[in-house]
Structure 1
Amino acid sequence: MAINETGAEQRRLHDADTNAVPWRKWGPYLSERQWGTVREDYSPGGDAWDYLSHDDARSRAYRWGEDGIAGFCDEEQSLCLAVALWNGRDPILKERFFGLTNSEGNHGEDVKEYWFYVDATPTHSYQRMVYKYPQEPFPYEDLVVTNRHRGRHDLEYELLDTGIFAEDRYFDVVVEYAKDGPEDVLGRITVHNRGPEPAPLRLLPTLWFRNTWSWDRPEPKPVLRAVDGGVEAVHHKLGTRRFEVLGDHPLLFTENETTGTGRYGKDAFHRYVVDGDTGAVNPDGAGTKVAADVSAEVPAGGSVTVRFRLSDRPSASDATAFDELVDRRRAEADEFYDVLLDPRLGEDERQVARQALAGMLWSKQYFGYDVERWLAEHGRDPLDAKGTRNGDWFHMICHDVISMPDKWEYPWFAAWDLAFQSIALAVVDRSFAKGQLDLLLSRRYLHPNGQIPAYEWNFSDVNPPVHAWATYLVYELDKARNGRGDHDWLEAIFHKLARNFTWWVNQKDHDGNNVFQGGFLGLDNIGVFDRSAPLPTGGYLDQADGTAWMALYCQSMLSIALELSQRDPVYLEQAQQYFEHFAWIAVAVNREHGSAAMWDEEDGFFYDLLRLPDGGAQRLRVRSLVGLLPLAAATVYASSTTARYPQLIEGVQDFLDRHPSVTSVLSRGRMQGRHGEHLLALFDEQRLRRILTRLLDEDEFLSPYGIRSLSKHHAEHPFEFRVGDQTFGVSYQPAESDSGMFGGNSNWRGPIWVPANILMVRALMNLYVGYGDEFTVECPTGSGVKMTLFEVAREISGRLTRIFLPGPDGRRPCYGGQEVFTTEHWKTLITFAEYFHGDNGAGLGATHQTGWTGLVAVFPNVFAGLSGPDLLLEGMTGVLRRAQVEEEDR
């Protein structure tokens, strides 16, 4: 599929990437919640959830970042735009979204608002979101009290459950941003009254400087001042800008400083609007925070529009010219996605993909965190801070725009989230995606010992090593689009990945036998024990998933080394090295020593091994994603690649000749495809069939909505393990876990988790190339319907995308039967939750999260028209063009 490089947004991307035109300088880089982060926690006990509450955020200046509704700012978050609202009845001015902290929610932290990202372009030349703002008093206390009295087994009490949207008594607040140049930002807010009666509204487009002047090593204090009916913003880095709101509206000025530290504080607009305190704002028309106070009576079924502009140049315009520019940018966004998304997609599929990608682009945030300064401000010696959160990471200095998992619940990066997110982002902005993968491997982030920082709450924790896999996939996507790969980028990142690979080998292979532990690895509450903590039995776990991740790491590094060898044969030595390392892992996984083996012949499945202090071992027979992940370590290498390097083939053969014991084991998962492709996997055909029998069983892993992370088998057959007087167990829970092992909403990786599904689809496509059409399996198991592995991959993809598509009754499963989402003004709005109910597909966890769930945008493109893998799947395996041709020939 050729990309139209003449489109307006494509030209902006080209100018940004080739000519250094700063089209990405301004974007939606504010979080919707800065409170509840490690950065803002200065409490003695490190209680980040309660230290800076929602109420405190109104009056306390943030140290490291800012938040706001529909926020927009520069890439260093020096100057920020957002929207504040008051319906005349709320107890507080609505400046940020409300939700429950981890201790308040019966399933953990949980936002209690409804907003939707409906459009965005990669240069942020056009952005649009919708917020549902109730006209009745917002039920803050009701939400807190009712949820407090609900237990872990009860449903969460949501904003819709309060009845506040009855009779459609709410406003649709549609916020749009459009750029008339890299530094010229237009904002348009259209407020629709969906209710049966006119309703009052105060709307405050707000501009403010992030507070960088109140701390140690202060920067020069900027200023906002009233000038000629608008506002002049002067900053020592940004220079001078003008902010204006079209129409005659009062301007309110205050300081973005903690209330009480000066005459005018951060909460001044709340006190002025809600409390009627006219002395709260500065009558001299100056400060570091300003808002236009727009009062409106919105007619029933009608709307009002407010327009504002922030520019580095004089830019006065009337409403007509303003609207023409915004509408033009919206049309250019349509043009961009018309070309980007496969034309064979139906309208519903295109809508899902577009909103998923919009959410990915809206969720980019500025992340500022100087760990050494943070430690010093906590009274700790940065060079001797062991025992302090992130005390080993004092080298980290972060001041970057990063793709976050979520703008409210997770306003911080997580390493493996970022890797998955980069794949989806590569669909719309390959340069940004490549930069994101490179960022955590840069010297400012990567630990000197080679460890990648996991996530803000504990950089030293361990996320699965998916960076190499994501790197090669993004490289292939880029090459497929451009016709050539970014060899220089791939080479630079390869050397950094090698450092991290070495860290894994040195730190996470307890016995040096090529079986890996890893620890946490993100698979919360689908295991028997907390894998981040010491085991109650003593000893340690040999992890099936940790070992599979490392096998995939080897395969990905081998793929990269082979690609780099096309230009520099010196990388053939590294290719040989990663092949041999994979071989040793394959041998370790396939050792057959009774209970000391991960493979269970009776069950036909891989399990974690509990290694006991007395030298014994026991399989933990939990059928979960842990045991499915070895399936993901299946990679195809094109015959043309290996044939180009006979010395590599000779080296591989020499290795096998010298280790005949390895050959017999390795040959189980090493085979040659129909066209000379080479497949590496951790299992042979017999074991593959047994794994697939469980994977495709609707009473085990195969849900109507994709692959579950925990087998439904455990609903009737829970697994239990006794240690002394304690019983540890796992049972199938289709929604949130009933275990408090990891706190609230803690079945974080399932039951249905989009990245797990894309890993399975990728593996099945590789296995299809290796085994061909002759290899068929029942899908679903026991149905009598035979499918090739390509058809199985397509079936799983179809089930997964069904989560987001309206069914015959107009309901999208992701909304779990909420009737309102079938009605006008709601039915086309989609959120992309953290994970999904294993039986009905309802969205769970962080319900507004787009993060890794944005990967769903890849699936409709992959199987568009049901004719075979397209451009994106060529990137998923590197060789699947041939599969497409053959499928179409049939």
Structure 2
Amino acid sequence: MTISQGAEQLRLDAAARDAVPWRRWGPYLSERQWGSVREDYSPGGDAWDYLTHDQARSRAYRWGEDGIAGFCDDQQRLCLALAMWNGRDPILKERFFGLTNAEGNHGEDVKEYYFYVDGTPTHSYQKMVYKYPQAEFPYHDLVATNRARGRQDFEYELLDTGVFAEERYFDVTVEYAKAGPEDILCRITVDNRGPEPATLRLLPTLWFRNTWTGRPGAVRPSLYQAPADGSAVVEVRHPGLGRRWLHCPGDHPLLFTDNETEGPYAKDAFHRYVVHGDTDAVNPACTGTKAAVDVTLDLPAGGSAVVRLRLSDEPHPPESIGFDQLVERRRAEADEFYDGRFPPALGQAERQVCRQALAGMLWSKQYFGYDVERWLLEHGRDPLDAGDIRNGDWFHLTAEDVISMPDAWEYPWFAAWDLAFHAVVFALIDLDFAKSQLDLLLSRRYLHPNGQIPAYEWNFSDVNPPVHAWAVYLVYELDKGRQGRGDHAWLEAAFHKLARNFTWWLNRKDVTGRNLFQGGFLGLDNIGVFDRSAPLPTGGHLDQADGTAWMALYCQNMLQIALELAVEDPGYLEQAHTYLEQFAWIAAAVDHPGATASMWDEEDGFFYDLLRLPDGSATPLRVRSMVGLLPLAAATVFDPELTARYPHLIGEANDFLDRHPSVAAALPPGRFRGRPGSHLLALFDENRLRRILARLLDEEEFLSPYGIRSLSKYHAEHPFQVDVDGATYRVDYAPAESDSGMFGGNSNWRGPVWFPVNALMIRALLNLYAGYGDDFTVECPTGSGVKMTLFEVAREISGRLTALFLPDESGRRPCYGGQDVFGTTHWRDLITYSEYFHGDNGAGLGAAHQTGWTGLVAVFPNLFARVTGSDLLAHGMTGFFRSMTEEEDER
């Protein structure tokens, strides 16, 4: 079989340059729409209980749709997904099942096994696997047992119920392949893994998102049974999509109903027809807004069957090659595409880890529709005076976009800081999409008029860490390396919007005007001794080490962008001066000699939050956590060419310090210096850096076998405790799930390994290496006697993170903990990328498919397989990242 050279890249280029709609169709269907804020019309804002999983099969949604292994257009007007029945379940399996926040002992949690195996950026090829038990699905058992367990108990998972015993399950493998931008093939392969014959009722389902109920003037689309010989054919008529046809070869019945809650033919018709034999539930006229092909598969033990579907804008799509041949061609083109993205030095096991991580990212792209003004009106509120209703201050926000989601089931809504990390990962394979995602939250449809970036739909006004500027600059550099020149217009547009957000931070999150910042939970949920998003029981406020570090990093990133823009427009040098000076004010405030208390604790050699009491006194909260490590992230090296290009910038910086001796006095020597010629901005000097690294790299503190813990293991034996008005507030090391009910009870930053902050630690180490060079070495691990440069330390942490997903000799991967089944034949090549990982044994925890930021694992091995420390020292950080893309172009 001949493969055209760079076929997927040609599709990406055609989409970007010629507007060929290769991106129009994709896996943009959510895996859970029920229980979301958009669908919540309860008086008290109880989203989980207002529309439950059990109600989802019969109540039409208002804002989006969900399904299994779904595909839809980029406005989610027409959806294609799977439904199935094993002959025993009490309900038709149309969507994945999971627990609400209140039902489980560890919060919301999907209770299914499905795996994203492959995908390409234009979705010309997508593949996933779902494991469907042949025994009755234990819905009641999962809810009752988890509800009865306490926080100290393990979660009760689907494998624990015994329904997979003797491999009595179906592997349902779904592949999509595009013959053209509007011509989509779907191949469904069902394998009976069990020891006896088994029957599966498979219902590939096509339906419209309900855009007509309660919307005057909206045109109602229709589906019809079309005449055909030897095939089941559904004709689609939609005012926006026009006409198209779904073909399924074979003499299979077609079922029709409407995607509506009420009426003679309602949303749950196929459930009633298949499970309960209610023949009156489906429309005998063979028309409606929801249709399914009813396929019965009788499979012998170990047997297999294939169902083929084709959704096309042609009534009789031409077949220049066969269906299966085209699917195989697209799969081979996917192989070719990733071979060009992965360096030759990357091993096969690492390639599999990276590729499936990227597949998870691609499968988690989702259409997100939410017009807050209309939602408020539907709640009976005046958008201009909405009161205390959720998101009442965000009536300007109008979303109708394909967005990279953290997890299409557990977090089927965008999160601001998650999305910044997603964009960095997508930049490896799809720079245009990465840039569009960063643009989205800065657009006037999302960014608040006051400059705040919306956090996530549960509370747009919450505050996520300001990592957008970091992501913008890194994506710009990668784009510049691939294209040969930077997208100056894109960077400039982003800079001005980021400046609005930066100003919002200065005005809103520095309550005393002392350049020490707050911010609330800042994405770290329950990491502190108090709920940082609630009023403190002591009164007063927290000056947060992480909030202050984020703003220091923000200054550095904006300085980088301003200097890049100044290459073409010297007027941006004034902005560069501004951000450099703002960084100096923050750096001085962190360790002001005359302050009542300092974030830096000289005795412990660590940064801490400061508890500011109403009487003006301040006390450090001595919790050794990621909060105190994040000041490391605010370390950026500026390349030696900076002095040559902008000599007066350095002069102006020195003049600034001369004019402000109090600032100069608060900046220890070396905080603006690294190796000769480089310019390093950081919140610490070399001595303090060594003390922080000694804790970071101590295996009895932060360094786990699988990355950097979010809380020091020191607190396992030495918990931190505060007594306030008879109440005790305590922080213990918890390497697995949280035993705290703080912040909803489904989050845990008290021990496990989280990828996004690990990524920022690696970035900081690379910058510090560029600043200090090979002469600066530390013990890694602490006390081992093994000396490493900071580049080698970064590579060591990267290797530990990647090891979470690498199989041992028996095929077992640490991310699966003690579940032996994942090392067996039909499971061993399937990987999930969890939200976070056990701080001691690496088991995946939290959301099971949060490839979003855990997808960063695709970046690390690629990075360290391509470049060396000498490359970094020779070319600086800018050349270092550009070399990643230059190598791709050479291949």
TM-score by length of 2: 0.96
Helix, strand or coil at the partner of 1:304: strand
Cα 1:195/1:871, change in 2 over 3 Å: farther
- Counterparts of 2:598 and 2:868, CA distance in 1: 41
The one-letter code sitting in structure 2 at the alignment partner of 1:422 is A
CA drift of 1:645 comes to: 1.8
C-alpha contact (below 8 Å) 1:698/1:781 kept by paired residues: yes
C-alpha contact (below 8 Å) 2:480/2:882 kept by paired residues: no
CA drift of 1:285 comes to: 1.0
CA drift of 1:420 comes to: 0.8
Determine if the alignment matches structure 1 residue 61 to structure 2 residue 60.
yes
The answer for the alignment partner of 1:237 in structure 2 is 240
Helix, strand or coil at the partner of 1:228: coil
The answer for the alignment partner of 2:889 in structure 1 is none
Helix, strand or coil at the partner of 1:141: helix
- Counterparts of 2:432 and 2:873, CA distance in 1: 16
C-alpha contact (below 8 Å) 2:545/2:631 kept by paired residues: yes
Cα distance per residue 1:112-163 (max 9 Å; x no partner): 0000000000000000000000111101111111111111110000000001
CA drift of 1:640 comes to: 1.4
Determine if the alignment matches structure 1 residue 157 to structure 2 residue 160.
no
Cα distance per residue 1:342-386 (max 9 Å; x no partner): 111111100000000000011000000000110111111111012
Cα 1:12/1:871, change in 2 over 3 Å: farther
The answer for the alignment partner of 1:106 in structure 2 is 105
Helix, strand or coil at the partner of 2:730: strand
The answer for the alignment partner of 2:564 in structure 1 is 563
Instruction: Structure 1 unaligned segments of length 5 or more: list them.
Output: 886-890
C-alpha contact (below 8 Å) 1:638/1:878 kept by paired residues: no
Helix, strand or coil at the partner of 1:690: helix
The answer for the alignment partner of 2:836 in structure 1 is 835
Cα distance per residue 1:781-809 (max 9 Å; x no partner): 11111111111111111111111111234
- Counterparts of 1:637 and 1:218, CA distance in 2: 58
The answer for the alignment partner of 1:20 in structure 2 is 19
Cα 1:880/1:414, change in 2 over 3 Å: closer
- Counterparts of 1:406 and 1:750, CA distance in 2: 22
The answer for the alignment partner of 2:253 in structure 1 is 250
The answer for the alignment partner of 1:353 in structure 2 is 354
- Counterparts of 1:116 and 1:869, CA distance in 2: 39
The one-letter code sitting in structure 2 at the alignment partner of 1:808 is E
The answer for the alignment partner of 2:444 in structure 1 is 443
- Counterparts of 2:109 and 2:708, CA distance in 1: 25
Q: How many residue pairs are counted as aligned between the two chains? A: 880
Q: Aligned residues: percent identity?
A: 75
Cα 1:192/1:111, change in 2 over 3 Å: same
The one-letter code sitting in structure 1 at the alignment partner of 2:554 is Y
CA drift of 1:396 comes to: 0.6
The one-letter code sitting in structure 1 at the alignment partner of 2:170 is F
CA drift of 1:662 comes to: 2.1
Give structure 1 regions of 4+ aligned residues with deviation exceeding 6 angstroms: 317-320, 869-876, 880-885
Helix, strand or coil at the partner of 2:520: coil
The answer for the alignment partner of 1:406 in structure 2 is 407
The answer for the alignment partner of 1:888 in structure 2 is none
Instruction: Structure 2 unaligned segments of length 5 or more: list them.
Output: 887-891
The answer for the alignment partner of 1:384 in structure 2 is 385
C-alpha contact (below 8 Å) 1:863/1:870 kept by paired residues: no
The answer for the alignment partner of 2:609 in structure 1 is 608
Cα distance per residue 1:534-556 (max 9 Å; x no partner): 00000000000000000000000
Cα distance per residue 1:509-544 (max 9 Å; x no partner): 011110001112011222010011000000000000
Cα distance per residue 1:638-693 (max 9 Å; x no partner): 12134212232332222122123323433545344446221100000000000000
C-alpha contact (below 8 Å) 1:868/1:883 kept by paired residues: no
C-alpha contact (below 8 Å) 2:734/2:750 kept by paired residues: no
- Counterparts of 1:866 and 1:577, CA distance in 2: 34
Cα 1:666/1:218, change in 2 over 3 Å: farther
- Counterparts of 1:267 and 1:550, CA distance in 2: 51
- Counterparts of 1:6 and 1:658, CA distance in 2: 61
C-alpha contact (below 8 Å) 2:478/2:881 kept by paired residues: no
- Counterparts of 2:564 and 2:594, CA distance in 1: 38
The answer for the alignment partner of 2:755 in structure 1 is 754
C-alpha contact (below 8 Å) 1:748/1:845 kept by paired residues: no
C-alpha contact (below 8 Å) 1:868/1:884 kept by paired residues: no
The answer for the alignment partner of 2:177 in structure 1 is 178
Cα 1:594/1:690, change in 2 over 3 Å: farther
Helix, strand or coil at the partner of 1:186: strand
- Counterparts of 1:301 and 1:529, CA distance in 2: 55
1:333-372 mapped onto 2 (5 Å cutoff): 333-372=334-373
C-alpha contact (below 8 Å) 1:748/1:835 kept by paired residues: no
The answer for the alignment partner of 2:195 in structure 1 is 196
Helix, strand or coil at the partner of 2:744: coil
C-alpha contact (below 8 Å) 2:611/2:620 kept by paired residues: yes
Cα 1:869/1:384, change in 2 over 3 Å: farther
CA drift of 1:319 comes to: 12
Higher alpha-carbon deviation: 775-784 or 637-646: 637-646
- Counterparts of 2:790 and 2:99, CA distance in 1: 44
1:277-296 mapped onto 2 (5 Å cutoff): 277-296=278-297
Higher alpha-carbon deviation: 540-549 or 301-310: 301-310
The answer for the alignment partner of 1:33 in structure 2 is 32
C-alpha contact (below 8 Å) 2:71/2:79 kept by paired residues: yes
Cα 1:5/1:875, change in 2 over 3 Å: farther
Helix, strand or coil at the partner of 2:427: helix
1:260-339 mapped onto 2 (5 Å cutoff): 261-316=262-317, 321-339=322-340
Cα 1:865/1:403, change in 2 over 3 Å: closer
1:444-483 mapped onto 2 (5 Å cutoff): 444-483=445-484
CA drift of 1:69 comes to: 0.1
- Counterparts of 2:777 and 2:813, CA distance in 1: 32
- Counterparts of 1:117 and 1:172, CA distance in 2: 13
- Counterparts of 1:595 and 1:736, CA distance in 2: 37
C-alpha contact (below 8 Å) 1:589/1:598 kept by paired residues: yes
The one-letter code sitting in structure 2 at the alignment partner of 1:683 is F
- Counterparts of 2:749 and 2:550, CA distance in 1: 19
Give the RMSD, CA atoms, in angstroms: 2.0
C-alpha contact (below 8 Å) 2:711/2:750 kept by paired residues: no
Higher alpha-carbon deviation: 61-70 or 246-255: 246-255
- Counterparts of 2:593 and 2:4, CA distance in 1: 56
Higher alpha-carbon deviation: 673-682 or 855-864: 673-682
Cα 1:92/1:319, change in 2 over 3 Å: farther
CA drift of 1:883 comes to: 13
The one-letter code sitting in structure 1 at the alignment partner of 2:840 is D
C-alpha contact (below 8 Å) 2:365/2:404 kept by paired residues: yes
- Counterparts of 1:880 and 1:419, CA distance in 2: 17
C-alpha contact (below 8 Å) 1:634/1:681 kept by paired residues: yes
Helix, strand or coil at the partner of 2:666: helix
The answer for the alignment partner of 1:47 in structure 2 is 46
C-alpha contact (below 8 Å) 1:862/1:873 kept by paired residues: no
- Counterparts of 2:378 and 2:517, CA distance in 1: 38
CA drift of 1:864 comes to: 1.5
The answer for the alignment partner of 2:74 in structure 1 is 75
Higher alpha-carbon deviation: 876-885 or 475-484: 876-885
Determine if the alignment matches structure 1 residue 641 to structure 2 residue 642.
yes
The answer for the alignment partner of 1:660 in structure 2 is 661
C-alpha contact (below 8 Å) 2:516/2:548 kept by paired residues: yes
- Counterparts of 1:779 and 1:183, CA distance in 2: 54
The answer for the alignment partner of 2:89 in structure 1 is 90
- Counterparts of 2:670 and 2:407, CA distance in 1: 38
CA drift of 1:744 comes to: 2.9
C-alpha contact (below 8 Å) 2:549/2:634 kept by paired residues: yes
1:4-15 mapped onto 2 (5 Å cutoff): 6-15=5-14
CA drift of 1:497 comes to: 0.1
C-alpha contact (below 8 Å) 2:477/2:882 kept by paired residues: no
Determine if the alignment matches structure 1 residue 689 to structure 2 residue 705.
no
C-alpha contact (below 8 Å) 1:476/1:876 kept by paired residues: no
